[in-house]
Structure 1
Amino acid sequence: MSVLVTGGAGYIGSHMVLELIGAGEDVVVLDNLSTGFRSAVPDTATFVEGNVGDSALVGRILKEHDIDAILHFAGSIVVPDSITDPLGYYGNNTCNSRSLLACAVDAGVPHFIFSSTAAVYGEPERSPITEEAPPRPISPYGSSKLMTETMLADTARAYPLRYVALRYFNVAGADPAGRTGQSTPRATHLIKVASEAAVGSRPGIDIFGTDYQTPDGTCIRDYIHVTDLVRAHLDALRYLRAGGESTVLNCGYGNGFSVFEVVDAVKRVSGVDFPVRTVERRPGDPPDLVAGAGRIRDVLGWEPQLNDLDTIVGHALAWERHLKGGRGTA
């Protein structure tokens, strides 16, 4: 049996591949390299370049490699871009996921783990946000992910397929051993761009909006270390293989930090006082997204190991220094 990781050459996917290989799994990676890097995939994994929406290709992979689980990371993730290109996001995130699910059903793949997002909640009435909060996405990105969750639920009712959808909060950091990290061009994640500014890869950063109804006027987010995140996926895989029922789980720590607090942390850990400019709000940014994180611990037995903002920042900075030194992208 093997595991298929779609988007396994990207930021989160490449960390997932390392975690799976470390757990003794046979791994097949499918990635079109639009934002990922071939060098991020270790030689111990089988790599296939291609699109997750290519049904013929996916069907061959599932059968030739005896795939028993799909971990689906491939997709577009930039909220403002989804507002200007909604059809592109529905095509890449929703239509391609529908194609992948059809291939999984046809090949009899029993387990599916989906990379979802807290953006499905939109602007929730309460924080922390539990899984019982009604999904009300305010961006095509969030809507495209919610549509895939709906397809998963309907598919699981009709066919012998069980799934876990993990709703990510803000993923950050890099592999503690320095093997991979976020190398995506035009990245928009706060810790990533602030770390780039700290190492001199960009002249400074913009803070989008200081007039939110939060203690310091900036958005509050729950930052989760990418290594803890992929360990939650491995726990989800073990849960499904042990007969666990389909479920949707938040993936965050339950701790919120404002934009100003994160910027201060990057400056403190790096020792660099880089320029910061305040600008208008971006469309699609809710003021406060913090996970209600109890269910994932109860259901999967997940125990995060890197729940510390300075640790997350330190690993992100180490990766940026690696990139700045010209030693490649993974």
Structure 2
Amino acid sequence: MTGAPLPVPAGLVLVLGARGFLGTQIVAGLRAMGWDVRVPPPGDLTAAPGADWNRWLDGVSGVINAAGRTGGSPGELTRANALLPARVLEELARTGGNGDVKLVHLASAAEYGAVPEGHASAEDEPARPLSPYGASKLAGTVLIEEALRSGRVRGAALRLTNPLGAGIGAGTLPGRAARELTAAVREGHPTVRFGPLGARRDFVDARDAARAALHALTSDLSGVVNVGSGQARPVRDVVDGLAALTGYRGRILEDAPGSPRSGDVPYQRADISRLLGSGFTLRHSLDDALQSLLSGVEAGPADPRRSEPILR
């Protein structure tokens, strides 16, 4: 499929994970485009009765699944990242909406696992996740791919790299760095410590990631599609960029314990030619994303529920 933009009809979209980091931006984007949005109440959607799903899916023309977990036990990860997509597919088939409703699922570049330095991961390459998180996300993507191949559903699975922006969790490295550097400037701390910052990651502005979800919803884009910047940057660039924006001039050391997730995958870069070939354009730079991240820190305290690790 080319992903050429289609006319955007007035319609209703069910958004799962609407209260999360990316979900809030997706909802705002939908409403700005004139779509009506339906959001289920908080809770375990995999255990919701069929009658609830009947109400949620009634009259919708699209479903965006932005729900999921990046941390937790294997059981918790499986329930959020594999069983929920399975439940969505089952309910679409049961309610007869699988042919008329387009499903957009937020997958993860962690599904690729480790790749050689300099390599850009493409959608048709084997996925070899190295973490329980990546494995659980891949399970959900495989279910959706099979449903797409069989014609049981229309939709796309967007393999996101590392989104940055306002509302990112305080438990992520960029979220923590923004808060600690802001505090260091305010309180005059001469040193801020992190773990090793040499891993290279594909960072994308969260607003572009949300726009990609809306693009997938309103175009004929289908299948697995990478969403990222197409560039691999040292994590140190994020910390140094935040230091420059906050005005921090102290020392930034890398002598704290590192993240095992980061060490497992020292390099990440997405081949985004399929996304760009569909007519989508990135609007925001890394500096834009960091400024947005800081604006969220200045606006108020972090939501403790948004603690997903960024180094996927």
TM-score, L = length of structure 1? 0.78
* Equivalent residue, structure 1, for 2:50: 56
Corresponding position: 1:191 with 2:174: yes
Task: Give 1:168's match in structure 2, choosing from 160, 165, 174.
Answer: 160
Q: 1:208 & 1:252 partners in 2: Cα distance?
A: 24
For the structure 1 residues 170 and 205, does the alpha-carbon distance in structure 2 shift closer, same or farther, using more than 3 Å as the test?
A: farther
Distance 2:13 2:299 in 1: 30
CA drift at 1:209: 3.6
Contact 1:52-1:74 within 8 A present in 2 as well: no
Instruction: Measure the CA separation in 2 of the matches of 1:266 and 1:296.
Output: 28
What's 2:281 paired with?
Answer: 303
1:280: how far off?
A: 3.9
CA contact (8 A) 1:113 1:165 kept: yes
Query: Which amino acid in the other structure matches residue 165 of structure 2?
Result: G
- Give the Å deviation of 1:224: 0.6
Give the match for residue 215 of structure 1. Answer: none
Task: Tell me what 1:235 maps to.
Answer: 215
> Mean Cα displacement is larger for which, 311-320 or 10-19?
311-320
Q: CA deviation at 1:277?
A: 4.2
Q: C-alpha separation between the residues in 2 aligned to 1:325 and 1:149?
A: 30
* One-letter amino acid of the structure 2 residue matched with residue 23 of structure 1: M
Q: What is the 5 A alignment of 1:16-31?
A: 16-30=26-40
Deviation string, structure 1 residues 35-58 (Cα, Å, up to 9, x no partner)? xxxxxxxxxxxxx33332124254
Aligned match of 2:80: 92
1:220 is aligned, of 200, 208, 212, to 200
- Give the Å deviation of 1:296: 0.4
Tell me which amino acid in the other structure corresponds to 1:248. V
Deviation at 1:102, TM superposition (A): 0.6
Q: Percent identity?
A: 26
CA 1:139–1:292 in structure 2 vs 1: closer, same or farther (change >3 Å)?
same
Shift of 1:7: 0.5
**Equivalent of residue 73 in structure 1, options 63, 66, 71:** 66
Deviations 1:20-41, CA, capped at 9 Å, x for gaps: 00011010112xxxxxxxxxxx
1:155 CA drift (Å): 1.9
Q: Which residue number in structure 2 is paired with residue 106 of structure 1?
A: 94
CA contact (8 A) 1:52 1:58 kept: no
What is aligned with 2:4?
none
Relative to structure 1, is the Cα distance of residues 256 and 49 closer, same or farther in structure 2, using a 3 angstrom cutoff? same
Q: 1:140 aligns with which of 132, 142, 146?
A: 132
Distance 1:114 1:324, change over 3 A: closer
Match for 1:15 among 12, 21, 25?
25
Three-state SS of the structure 1 residue aligned to 2:300 is: helix
CA distance in 1 between counterparts of 2:67 and 2:259 reads 24
Matched, 1:6 2:5: no
Give a deviation string over 1:190-243, Cα, whole Å, max 9, x none.
Answer: 322111112229988654346xxxxxxx10011111111111111101114xxx
1:289 corresponds to: 268
Once the two structures are superposed, what CA deviation does each residue of 1:68-108 show, in whole Å capped at 9, x if it has no partner? 21100111023xx4xxx212211221112211221111121
Runs of 4+ in 1 over 3 A off after TM superposition: 157-160, 201-210, 273-277
**TM-score, with length taken from structure 2:** 0.83
Total equivalences in the alignment: 282
The 10-residue stretch of structure 1 (106-115 or 4-13) with the greater mean CA deviation from structure 2: 106-115
RMSD between aligned residues: 2.5
